[in-house]
Amino acid sequence: ANFCREVCRVWVENNPVQHGARVVLMDLDRAFDRVDHKTLTQTMKEEQVNPAWRKLIQDYLSNRTYQVRLGGTITPTICHIQAGVPQGSVLGPTLFNVHTCHVPQPTRQNTKIIMYADDIAVMAQGLMASDKLQLSLEKITSWAAETNIGINPQKCQAVLISKR
């Protein structure tokens, strides 16, 4: 609900000009499961997170395992978790936000990005709004591929907002 409110607030504050606005709502596919631990550690280093905190997070994420229980039966295989942040944990959302802090920001005027967890709204307005939007979407798609975060096209939507 807060994400939707923020998108609406930004739109109202920037009241689209006569050419309208275009918005693409994107969903990052299984994003919390795909956070690469090495990439996260590198991002924390680039963002100058205290080395003691980085070490604590590395220890927190390393050597995590799981087993599967189906009914009353537990599989004998212990699987090691290679990526992802613990969902339902206090740190999970914060670690994901750190991981996504390098999502490319728009460089064109009248273009904005709003993020909440694994949802991204890209908004562009004015002349050439479609071109501005396309440029931002290409940059985000490249970032997602580089960081092994997928985009779920079935959950993405494009919206045209205009005055009539």
Average confidence (pLDDT) over 15-35: 82
SS3 assignment, position 152: coil
DSSP string spanning 73-141?
EE-SPPEEP-B---TTSSSHHHHHHHHTTTSPPP-STTEEEEEETTEEEEEEESTTHHHHHHHHHHHHH
Fold of the domain built from segment(s) 2-33+97-161: Alpha-Beta Plaits (3.30.70)
Tokens 């970032």 -> residue: 143
Domain ranges of the chain: 2-33+97-161, 36-83
**What whole-number distance in Å separates Cα of residue 21 and Cα of residue 23?**
7
Indicate the pTM of the whole model.
0.78
Calpha distance 47→30 (Å, rounded): 24
CA distance 107 to 126: 15
Element housing 42 (H / E): helix 37-46
Rounded mean pLDDT of 77-93?
89
64-84 pLDDT, tens digit each:
988 899 898 998 888 888 899
73 DSSP β-pair partners: 70
Residue 85 near residue 95 (C-beta atoms within 8 A): yes
Q: For residue range 28-45, what is the model confidence (pLDDT) as tens digits?
A: 998 899 999 999 999 999
